[in-house]
A = this chain, B = another copy of it.
Amino acid sequence: MSERSDQSSGKPTLALVGATGAVGTVMREIISNRVDVYGEIRLVASARSAGKVLPVRGEDVVVQALTAEVFDGVDIAIFDVPDEVSAEWVPIAAGRGAIVIDKSGTFRMNPEVPLVVPEVNPGDARNRPLGIIATPNCTTLSMMAAMGALHAEYGLRELVVASYQAVSGAGVAGPARLYDEVEALAGDRTVGQAAGDVRKVLQNKLGDVESPFPAPIAFNVVPWAGSLKDDGWASEEIKLRNESRKILGIPDLKVSATCVRVPVVTTHSLAVHATFEREITVADAHRVLEAAPTVVLMDDPGSGVYPMPIDVVGTDPTYVGRIRQALDFPNTLDLFVCGDNLRKGAALNAAEIAELIAAEFAGAVA
């Protein structure tokens, strides 16, 4: 593939598609702060955003409109766009020779597309017959580095998961809505104490401004994420099951998930009940997770040490705490995981995959 790189240095040209979105913004920041393995970096967005000037890697870059030609000479393209945009444009970019890392749900379960978490299954990234690599849903990703490390030693068999998902998982409109609602409700020290009163205040103050959520999110939790699938399941819950199975390489992994949105700006949390093939103690889990790259153990509840969104947001690792041996279930741990859904849950994972690919270019030159 090195023949595609414009750089004699072996540094690949990178395109960021969806550079102006919630994840795209974090992606530019992450790429600017990690080891620089790229030649040219192109920023690509919808025609609406074309012409904007945005910083990446300390340079001001003019955003280009999404066209087929924008991928000419591109070695690696990271897509963070809605599913239907990926469905149309990812094959076009791949057809022009770019290796595409796609954040959308479109290709994740395609058997010819690897679904990659570099800490768990980096080797899968090399087997990409379509030139496309998918990166998982942010809720799944928030726990994968930790669960992958435990699986490697103890053999994961079952997962029962309840999520506490941040509003930024719904894109830039999510935090905007939460801030709007909090401003509208602040100062009223009785609100949230009678059925429907939060809805009334928001209706009065925000009117019919559209929300990305199906219900008020301030002073509330909303047990719904995604679209309706068969038999009452939400798409986010099905994704967590299917994607966990594919990433971990456990086709018969038993999974039940309930996905719930909470009034947190950024960082997804998960309560995980995990059953393994082999006996596992809290000490075993501590040993494995302390050694796992990109995982941080925060597990001393007697001293108030456990992961929480406000302490995790803006940082890269997966944080794990509240690890307990289940009292009534053999070979089972209960634990609590937090990960920044825009970083490890999205942009960081894509950047890490891009670096795996960039290393192939460097290797080809060397």
State the A residues within 8 Å of B (CB). 158, 160, 162, 164, 175-176, 179, 182-183, 185-187, 189, 191-199, 214-216, 219-224, 228, 231-234, 237, 241, 253-258, 260, 262-266, 269, 271, 273, 282, 299, 301-302, 304, 306-315, 321-329, 332, 334, 336
Closest to A334 in B: B256
Query: Once the chains bind, are B310 and A233 in contact (CB under 8 Å)?
Result: no
Query: Once the chains bind, are A266 and B323 in contact (CB under 8 Å)?
Result: no
A269 to B257, CA, bound (A): 15
Query: Once the chains bind, are B328 and A255 in contact (CB under 8 Å)?
Result: yes
Closest to A257 in B: B334
Closest to A161 in B: B162
Query: Once the chains bind, are B183 and A329 in contact (CB under 8 Å)?
Result: no
Query: Once the chains bind, are A256 and B302 in contact (CB under 8 Å)?
Result: no
A232 to B182, CA, bound (A): 34
Q: Can you list 16 A-B contacts with CB-CB less than 8 angstroms, sorted by A residue number?
A: A158-B329, A160-B273, A164-B221, A164-B262, A193-B314, A195-B311, A195-B312, A220-B264, A221-B309, A223-B307, A224-B304, A224-B322, A228-B301, A253-B328, A254-B328, A258-B336
Query: Once the chains bind, are B182 and A216 in contact (CB under 8 Å)?
Result: no
Which of A224, A256, A301 is packed against the most chain B CB atoms within 10 Å?
A256
What residues on B are CB-neighbors of A311 within 8 Å? 195-196, 199
A265 to B306, CA, bound (A): 23
A262 to B310, CA, bound (A): 13
Query: Once the chains bind, are B223 and A306 in contact (CB under 8 Å)?
Result: yes
Query: Once the chains bind, are A262 and B265 in contact (CB under 8 Å)?
Result: no
Number of copies: 2
A346 to B271, CA, bound (A): 25
What residues on B are CB-neighbors of A233 within 8 Å? 324, 327
A163 to B179, CA, bound (A): 24
The answer, among B193, B223, B306, for a CB contact under 8 Å with A313, is: B193
What residues on B are CB-neighbors of A260 within 8 Å? 164, 269, 271, 336
Query: Once the chains bind, are B221 and A313 in contact (CB under 8 Å)?
Result: no
A322 to B233, CA, bound (A): 8
Query: Once the chains bind, are A301 and B264 in contact (CB under 8 Å)?
Result: no
Query: Once the chains bind, are B304 and A269 in contact (CB under 8 Å)?
Result: no
The answer, among B162, B183, B198, B282, for a CB contact under 8 Å with A271, is: B162
Q: What are the 8 closest A-B residue pairs judged by CB atoms, nearest first?
A: A192-B265, A162-B162, A186-B186, A254-B328, A162-B271, A258-B271, A198-B310, A194-B314
Query: Once the chains bind, are B232 and A265 in contact (CB under 8 Å)?
Result: no
What residues on B are CB-neighbors of A223 within 8 Å? 269, 271, 306-308, 321-322, 336
A308 to B223, CA, bound (A): 7
Closest to A309 in B: B220
| Shortest beta-carbon distance from A31 to chain B in Å | 18
A357 to B347, CA, bound (A): 61
A195 to B311, CA, bound (A): 5
A158 to B327, CA, bound (A): 12
| Shortest beta-carbon distance from A276 to chain B in Å | 14
A256 to B135, CA, bound (A): 31
Closest to A322 in B: B223
Query: Once the chains bind, are A216 and B310 in contact (CB under 8 Å)?
Result: yes
| Shortest beta-carbon distance from A26 to chain B in Å | 10
What residues on B are CB-neighbors of A194 within 8 Å? 313-314
Query: Once the chains bind, are B195 and A323 in contact (CB under 8 Å)?
Result: no
What residues on B are CB-neighbors of A219 within 8 Å? 263-265, 309-310
